[in-house]
Structure 1
Amino acid sequence: MTRRLFEKTLSKTDVEYRIRIPMESLSAFRIPEEEYSKKVDVFDIHCRRWSFRCSTRKNDPHPKLVLSSGWIRFVKEKRLKEGDQVIFSVSDKDGAEGLQFGIQARKRVKLFGQELWSDPL
């Protein structure tokens, strides 16, 4: 079963450095308790695999969850800009593999003064 994990409108920091993920999504990423990061494979709608580093701050009572390493490559290849959106989903997979993550990107387009969204990239 696939469910939407979160949807985010990209900020300047998200398109230039790393994307901050809502903390409500932390449990889905299953970072081991003694560790603060792990590699996460995410599949786009074309079944292309993207690898990101998912991490939290070490020894911080208010950790922030971010995707880095590999994220900016995704942003550049999809030509994303501030104001565009990404939608993360998660699927339960049978067997030992656990969860499979999906990502869709949409570009914000203004046409005749009206804001529209592109088809998923």
Structure 2
Amino acid sequence: MTKRLFDKTLSKTDVEYRMVIPMDSLPAFRIPEGEFSKKVDVFDNNCCRWSFRCSKRKNDAHPKPVLSSGWIKFVKEKGLKEGDQVIFSVSDKDGAGGLQFGIQARKRVKLFGQDLWSDPL
């Protein structure tokens, strides 16, 4: 079963450097105890696999998780800009606890003062 993990409207930092992940979504990424990062494979709507590094701060009560290493390549390939949106989902791919992440990107288009969203990229 696929579950929506989070939606995010992209900030300037998200499209230029790394994407900040909502804190309440960090447990889904399952960074091993004692480690501070993990490679995460994510599939888009076209079944293309993207590899990102999910990392958190080492010595901080507020770990501020981010996606980096591969994230900016995804942003550029999809032509994303500040104000566009990504939707992360997660599913149990084999019923044995193995997780599969999905991502949809939508571009924001302003038309007659209204925000419209493109179909998922």
1:53 and 2:53 correspond: yes
User: Which secondary structure does the structure 1 equivalent of 2:94 belong to?
Assistant: coil
Once the two structures are TM-superposed, the CA of residue 115 in structure 1 deviates from its matched residue by 1.4
1:22 and 2:29 correspond: no
Which residue of structure 2 lines up, in the alignment, with residue 7 of structure 1?
Answer: 7
Once the two structures are TM-superposed, the CA of residue 96 in structure 1 deviates from its matched residue by 5.4
Which residue of structure 2 lines up, in the alignment, with residue 71 of structure 1?
Answer: 71
Once the two structures are TM-superposed, the CA of residue 97 in structure 1 deviates from its matched residue by 6.8
Once the two structures are TM-superposed, the CA of residue 16 in structure 1 deviates from its matched residue by 0.2
Give the aligned length.
Answer: 121
Aligned mates of 1:8, 1:95 — CA distance in 2: 27
Which of structure 1's runs of 4+ aligned residues deviate more than 3 A?
Answer: none
Residues 9-51 of structure 1: per-residue CA shift (max 9 Å, x gap): 0000000000000011111000001100010000000000000
In structure 1, stretches of 5+ residues that fail to align are: none
Once the two structures are TM-superposed, the CA of residue 113 in structure 1 deviates from its matched residue by 2.3
Which residue of structure 2 lines up, in the alignment, with residue 88 of structure 1?
Answer: 88
Superposition TM-score, scaled by structure 2 size: 0.96
Superposition TM-score, scaled by structure 1 size: 0.96
User: Which secondary structure does the structure 1 equivalent of 2:63 belong to?
Assistant: coil
Aligned mates of 2:88, 2:116 — CA distance in 1: 20
| Cα RMSD, aligned residues only | 1.1
In structure 2, stretches of 5+ residues that fail to align are: none
1:33 and 2:37 correspond: no
